[in-house]
Structures are given as C-alpha cells and as structure tokens.
C-alpha cells in the first residue's frame, strides 16, 4: 500500500499539478473541465493557490527533489504578489487569471489556508519573509476575525462583516462553522510547529476547548456543522468526511502541542468520532458523503475518500487493537485506485461519483476547491507515518 501510494504521488499527482503551472501570469491555472480542457483565463482561487503552494512545499520536504521547491516558490510568489491585499491586509478570495483582484471578500477560512501554506513554505525554503507574512495574517485573524466566542467568518475587503454564503451549505446561513474552525486550528498547528510561538500555542489550546465544548456532540457521536453566533446548531447533519478529518488533525495537533492534559481531554473525542464514522458511514470499501435529517447521501466525494485513508490509519496507529481500521484503510485505497483515480492520461482524481462508483461528468477535474491538498496530503501522511514508524 505504501509503495503504491508513493508511486501514485510521484507518478500521477505531482506531474498533473506541475503541468498546470502558469509561467505567463503566475500561479496555477484555475480550471480544467471533465473533458480535460484547461481554461487558461479562468479565475484563480486564492485557496487553490495556497493549497498548491502547501502541497509542493511538503512534497519537497518529503522527497527532497529541488524542482518541487521551485514549484512551491512559484506558488509563493503568486500569493505574495497577487493574493495579498496590500491596502487593507489579508488575502482575497480569488483573483483573475492575470492576478488582478476578482472576489475581494476576506474570509477567515481563506486567511487560515494562507497561514498554512506560508508556514510550510518557510519550513521548506527557510525564507523568513514567508514566516513574517504568516505571522501577520495570524495576527490579523486574531484582531479582525475573532470575537469573545470564537471566529466569525465572512468580511468584505475592509473587514466589515458580510454574509457567509461561501462556507454555508444545506440551505442554512451560518455565522460560525465547524469547517472554518478546523482549518484555523490546522493552520495554527503548522505555524506553531515552525515558529514555537507561545501566543499561537495558547490559541490552539483555546480552539481545542471550542471543539470539545461547542462542536462535539457526545450524545450523537459527531460534530455539529453549522451554527449561529451563539453556537446553536442550525441543522441535523452528520458530515462524515469532516468528522474523520477532524479526528486525525486534532490528534496531530495534540502531538505537536505535547501537553498531556490537553491530549487526555481530546483523545476520547477523536476516538469516538473515528469509531462512529467506521460504524455508520463506511460500507466496506468507501465512505458516504453525509447524512442530513436521517437521509444518507450515498455519493462518493474525492476528498472524503482521501481523508478516510488517513483517518483510519491514524485511528489504528493510536489503538493497534483496532485492526478493522487498518483493513478499512486498505479497502478504501483499493476503491480509490479502482474508481476515484481517473485513468485517462493528463488527469488526476474524479470529483464525485455515484453510489455505484460512476463519475459525474458535470464535475470538473480542477476548480477553486479541487486541488492536491486532500489526496496529496493523504499520500504524504501515509509515507511519513511509515518513515516515522521505522
């Protein structure tokens, strides 16, 4: 499994994203349709370019191939020159193909992914400017996006509150979301890992308190997903992919924090989330999308399948008696190989499949949310964990 995943990373995912490099306007092309046609004039999502920069920085640190650092540098330069708002601070939601601002919304989720990418790029390159920018964005999140209860999410260009359509789904309009909090936590984990800043550590511990006290529902063995400002849940929803992703990201965060009391508080939660996903959402080969008001959406989403592999491997490593998790990860990887990976030359993973494993031709191969973050990270996590174990 490890050798297959490494071969997939180096032979499929990395070459695919290298081929999307835009040497004329910077960054990476923002759209490829289902028929593998690249739109070189498509909008470039700033989240997409942050995630690609993060991906190449981490691929370089794992594989030590200098060309991967060059790709990360290419993404970083585009972020620095075009995604950052030099007048008002923060990162735009998207820019045009030529780097001019397109959607100037400032979203906490988007700021977090820039922190994530810049922190990793600093680790890969040693460039102090990238770390300095990551710290400035962290300070901006804390000063402009946080209130006494947590993090608000959507703002206009000058950080006045705005409507949160971009992170609200399922017919609700949320002021706080589990998804944004998760990726703020993930970004701060990376920033703390590379900087050792005590203020970031303090904020990480505070965020974990929010997960334990506001997001996690022990009675239903899940996280709530969408909230109003006072953390009233807005919908009856199991988000299986987010639950399994959260479990391993929190475990990773507590390992980096290395505070026994924090670990003791969070480990029962991450174990419960993993167990519930395995029990209710995994059908022996892959993971359903979600369950809303008791109705399961049986579609298979690319990123959820990737997080399932990492999440079950993580669950097994933290409790080796759970051999069923190891078997589930292997079965999921087999499903990914057979169904999710697009066999066509010049492609990568399908976005969405029906319950029978047939891809939806309406979904593109690349767009602002479709990136090498989840599947590339899955590959690197499995390879790293084997290296660490050996």
Identify whether 174 is part of a domain: yes
Largest CA distance in the chain: 54
Average pLDDT of the residues in 32-58: 98
Instruction: Tell me what pLDDT residue 176 has.
Output: 98
Number of domains in the chain: 1
Tell me how far apart the alpha carbons of residues 174 and 209 are, in angstroms, rounded to a whole number.
20
Whats the size of the chain, residue-wise? 390
Identify whether 128 is part of a domain: yes
Query: What is the span of the domain harbouring residue 347?
Result: 2-353+361-382
Identify whether 388 is part of a domain: no
CATH code of the domain covering residue 11: 1.50.10.10
Identify whether 387 is part of a domain: no
Instruction: Tell me what pLDDT residue 310 has.
Output: 98
Residue-by-residue DSSP string for 31-67:
-B-TT--B-TTS-EEHHHHHHHHHHHHHHHHHH--HH
* pTM beyond 0.95: yes
Query: Is the predicted pLDDT of residue 89 greater than 70, yes or no?
Result: yes
Identify whether 211 is part of a domain: yes
Identify whether 48 is part of a domain: yes
Identify whether 390 is part of a domain: no
Average pLDDT of the residues in 195-219: 98
Identify whether 369 is part of a domain: yes
Query: Is the predicted pLDDT of residue 345 greater than 80, yes or no?
Result: yes
């Amino acid at each position: 499994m490890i050798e297959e995943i490494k071969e997939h990373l180096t032979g499929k995912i990395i070459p695919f994203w290298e081929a999307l490099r835009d040497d004329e306007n910077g960054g990476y092309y923002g759209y490829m349709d289902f028929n593998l046609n690249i739109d070189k004039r498509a909008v470039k999502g700033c989240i997409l370019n942050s995630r690609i920069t993060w991906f190449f920085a981490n691929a370089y640190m794992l594989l030590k191939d200098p060309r991967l650092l060059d790709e990360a540098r290419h993404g970083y330069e585009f972020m620095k020159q075009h995604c950052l708002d030099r007048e008002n601070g923060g990162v735009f939601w998207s820019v045009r193909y030529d780097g001019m601002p397109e959607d100037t919304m400032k979203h906490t989720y988007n700021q977090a992914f820039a922190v994530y990418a810049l922190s990793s790029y600093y680790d890969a390159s040693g460039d102090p400017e990238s770390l300095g920018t990551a710290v400035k964005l962290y300070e901006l999140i804390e000063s402009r996006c946080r209130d006494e209860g947590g993090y608000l999410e959507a703002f206009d260009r000058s950080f006045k509150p705005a409507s949160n359509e971009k992170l609200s789904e399922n017919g609700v309009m949320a002021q706080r979301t589990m998804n944004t909090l998760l990726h703020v936590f993930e970004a701060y984990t990376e920033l703390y890992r590379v900087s050792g800043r005590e203020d970031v550590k303090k904020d990480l511990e505070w965020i974990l308190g929010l997960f334990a006290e506001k997001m996690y529902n022990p009675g239903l063995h899940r996280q709530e997903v969408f909230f109003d400002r006072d953390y009233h849940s807005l919908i009856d929803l199991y988000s299986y992919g987010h639950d399994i992703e959260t479990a391993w990201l929190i475990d990773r965060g507590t390992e980096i924090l290395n505070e026994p009391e924090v670990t003791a508080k969070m480990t029962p939660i991450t174990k419960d989330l993993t167990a519930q996903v395995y029990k209710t959402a995994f059908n022996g080969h892959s993971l359903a999308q979600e369950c809303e008001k008791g109705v399961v959406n049986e579609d298979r989403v690319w990123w959820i399948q990737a997080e399932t592999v990492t999440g079950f491997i993580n669950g097994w490593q933290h409790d080796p008696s759970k051999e069923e998790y190891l078997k589930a990860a292997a079965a999921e990887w087999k499903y990914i190989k057979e169904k999710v990976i697009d066999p066509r030359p010049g492609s990568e993973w399908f976005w969405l499949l029906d319950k029978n494993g047939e891809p939806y031709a309406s979904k593109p191969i690349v767009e602002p949310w479709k990136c090498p973050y989840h599947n590339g990270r899955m590959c690197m996590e499995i390879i790293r964990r084997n290296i660490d174990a050996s």
